[in-house]
Amino acid sequence: MYYSIEEMLEKIDHPVNRKPCLKLLRENDGLFKSARGSTHNHQAWPGGYWDHVQEVMNIAIVLYKPLDELRAHRLTLGEALLVLFLHDIEKPWSYELKANGELQRKKRG
């Protein structure tokens, strides 16, 4: 089964972590679904950020149990999903489109 991001966030163990993530997802749904994952490397297309996050979270679900059978994890699947959801969270706000259509990192200031 291939899960949606929202379905995977529901697997986060503790409500104190799960609820803010679901709220963040709902409040930024359009931005997350349209953001690029990078300027020119991997996931550089519109929506690449969303695709990347959804993909790595699904990979964690597939790999968690077989890897846990080889070597016990020190974190739950829910904790792994929390980390993966948040690992690139700045990206939707980090890039801007230049007049020529090229994507660049926003200047901090």
Quick: pLDDT tens for 70-95.
998 899 999 999 999 999 999 999 87
| Element of type H or E holding 7 | helix 5-9
Place of tokens 């949606």: 4
pTM of model > 0.85: yes
Q: What angle do CA 12, 18, 78 make, to 5 degrees?
A: 15
